[in-house]
Amino acid sequence: MNEVINVLDKGYVRLTNVMGSDLSVVNSARVSYDKESTELTEGDIRLIRFLAREGHTSPFRHATIQFEMYAPLMVARQHWKYIVGSDHTMDAWNESSRRYVTEDPAFYIPKEDEWRSAPANSKQGSGGPLVDKLEYHEMGELQHVYERHVEESIRLYEKSIELGMAPEQARLFLPAYGMYVRYYWTASLQSVAHFLNQRLAHDSQVEIQAYAKSVYELTKEHFPMSISELVKKEA
């Protein structure tokens, strides 16, 4: 299985494993009556719609899906906080660690027209393009400073490794929030749908919306009926 969608400048979402299908949801629900379907019928589709509409979500936890995510730390930590703060326990998360590996660091570098201004009437989220509010040379200077900051941080990180510093401390030289991290996320179909309903919302951070859209596209290929009923897609 090699289903990958590229996200942002260097990131991606890769579907690595799937257990179950829409039929798994149906049969998990019908077992109460000692019944089983061998192919998805119109009656089964009506059952999926009923389960989703009425909030009978346990049958959707009998299907699971696994992703490999490569995302800036600011996205990964927002994703992680959603999981630990959720009441859905059918999740697993494993992440690469610079305590053990010294792979080349990569950073999210937005283009000049991708930086966003602070919103006018809120303490969170984004406003319009920052480039519309700054002089051309001001935006160019910010872009240049950020790129130089990343380059210098990588140089200091590599130098500290070369001098024998422990990787777990050398990583302190790397600016955290823009650095790409790689992690595996395994979740029940219910939990995936909960994530999507939260992060496809129009007021969600733009970068995590991009990852949510990719998760949605990869999931609907394997659970078309269930995900269409569970997720009210906004973005």
- The C-alpha angle with vertex 42 and arms to 187 and 39, in degrees rounded to 5, equals 65
155 noted as active-site residue = no
Task: Please tell me the distance from the alpha carbon of residue 214 to that of residue 226, in angstroms, as a whole number.
Answer: 17
* Radius of gyration from C-alpha coordinates of the chain: 21
d(CA 93, CA 5): 20
Q: Please report where in the chains the tokens 């970068």 appear, as a residue.
A: 207
Query: Is residue 160 classed as helix, strand or coil in its secondary structure?
Result: helix
Nearest Cα to 192, choosing from 46, 10, 15, 8? 15
Q: How far is CA 64 from the centre of its chain?
A: 16
Amino acid residing at 122: S
Active site (catalytic) residues: 199
